[in-house]
Structure 1
Amino acid sequence: MSITIDSLQSLEAWSKARKALKPELMAHRRLRSVALGEHMTCQFEDERTIRYQIQEMLRIEKIFEEEGIHSEIAAYSPLVPDGSNWKATLLLEYPDVNERRRELARLLGVAARMFVEIEGHGRVYAIADEDLERETAEKTSAVHFLRFEFDRAQCQALRAGASAVLGCDHTHYPAHQRIAPETLACLAGDLR
């Protein structure tokens, strides 16, 4: 199902429904999140998480005109996986402002060093920030958008239950984490 203007709730309907839907959506988001160490989290997006994000942006910005709604849909829809990939929001989280400034300067190029390694297959490196450049010569952003593009054999392996690791091989943040079976089962559902 794709996100269209007709598939979204009105501001009034969303305002009434959001409190009841939020706990379920937060649980769904946690299921689709993988932490790498203390400071890095990949939140794997799907139609449900992006629909929620669009509804919240419309509510916060009080957007009710058709043109504005179409603009939000156009901005966020590219983050919905399309059958041969996983799409994720990479968050670099440093609560202390000085540590954040120092580490974001050290982590230039980090988004391109993110990978998924599927059992029996090689690493698939992320295609990062296709929408716009998120780094300067001095520092990287605390938020990146990633796409992990899989070939047919990799998709089949993941759908058949192969294990997978999410990792980063950046010099200043080497980390890897086996993706939990329940998370992997959810993410495998994004693949055809």
Structure 2
Amino acid sequence: MPRITRDSLLSHKAYLDQRNEWRQTVIPFKKLRTVLIGNNASLMFENELTVRYQLQEMIRVDKSMAADDLEHELAIYNELVPTRHCLKATLMFEFVDADVRATKRDQMLGVEHAIWMNVNHLGKRYATPNRMLGEPSGDRVSSVYFLSFQLEDADVADFIAGEPVALGIDHPAYNHSVDEISPQTQSVLIEDLKSSSQAS
């Protein structure tokens, strides 16, 4: 997919004028791209639209953002746009109870290396955490991780053909999986794979 540039973003005023329409489009679109893994983890697959929306929201909040700061954010958030054979996702953990949350933070070290995708039983492809996006190093646990799923040619072919796609987390402190993502979610991710392959 093409990278997002400063010139392709709406101005603060133009985005405010269109924000309601953006939200009506993007919020259900993000929901369609989200897979729940267990009761406390959600994996939201990013693409050009979701990343663009996040950048526009940043500009809305900080309408006086300096050009250099915006270029820095563009460099970071473009890393969440899918590339050839590589899906990108944001993983969020949510534990409502504060005591449980504190305990899990101690128990879940290294969880960012335990997230996997398995297309048509070809084998687990473990996600790679993206350090550019600011999640902590392995000595403490975050509630948000930014991940890349690098797929092999056979994975992509079967994914696009509609074969089952499983997702999971196999960390000792959080071990849950989804045997098959919904056809609706798979459909939008197929478009990501097709678009990123064509762009490359």
| TM-score higher than 0.5 | yes
Q: Which is further off, 55-64 or 6-15?
A: 55-64
SS in 2 for 1:144: strand
Q: How many residues align?
A: 191
Aligned residue number for residue 110 of structure 1:
111
Mind listing any 5+ residue stretches in structure 1 that lack a counterpart? none
Aligned-residue offset at 1:105? 1.3
Mind listing any 5+ residue stretches in structure 2 that lack a counterpart? none
Structure 1 residues 7-156: aligned runs within 5 Å: 7-131=8-132, 132=134, 134-135=136-137, 137=139, 139-156=140-157
SS in 2 for 1:62: coil
Aligned-residue offset at 1:133? 5.2
Root-mean-square deviation (CA, aligned residues, Å) is 1.4
Paired amino acid for 1:189: E
Aligned residue number for residue 176 of structure 1:
177
Q: Deviations over 1:108-160 (max 9, x none)?
A: 111100000110411100111332452453x3101111110011121111111
Question: How far apart, CA to CA, are the structure 1 residues paired with 2:135 and 2:13?
Answer: 35
Aligned-residue offset at 1:83? 2.2
Aligned-residue offset at 1:20? 1.9
2:135–2:144 CA contact under 8 A, matched in 1: no
Identity %, equivalent residues: 33
SS in 2 for 1:176: strand
Question: How far apart, CA to CA, are the structure 1 residues paired with 2:73 and 2:135?
Answer: 19
Question: How far apart, CA to CA, are the structure 1 residues paired with 2:126 and 2:28?
Answer: 27
Question: How far apart, CA to CA, are the structure 1 residues paired with 2:8 and 2:92?
Answer: 29
Question: How far apart, CA to CA, are the structure 1 residues paired with 2:83 and 2:130?
Answer: 17
Paired amino acid for 2:127: A
Paired amino acid for 1:158: F
Question: How far apart, CA to CA, are the structure 2 residues paired with 1:76 and 1:63?
Answer: 19
Question: How far apart, CA to CA, are the structure 1 residues paired with 2:138 and 2:153?
Answer: 35
55 and 133 in structure 1: CA distance in 2 versus 1, 3 angstrom threshold = closer
Question: How far apart, CA to CA, are the structure 1 residues paired with 2:138 and 2:156?
Answer: 34
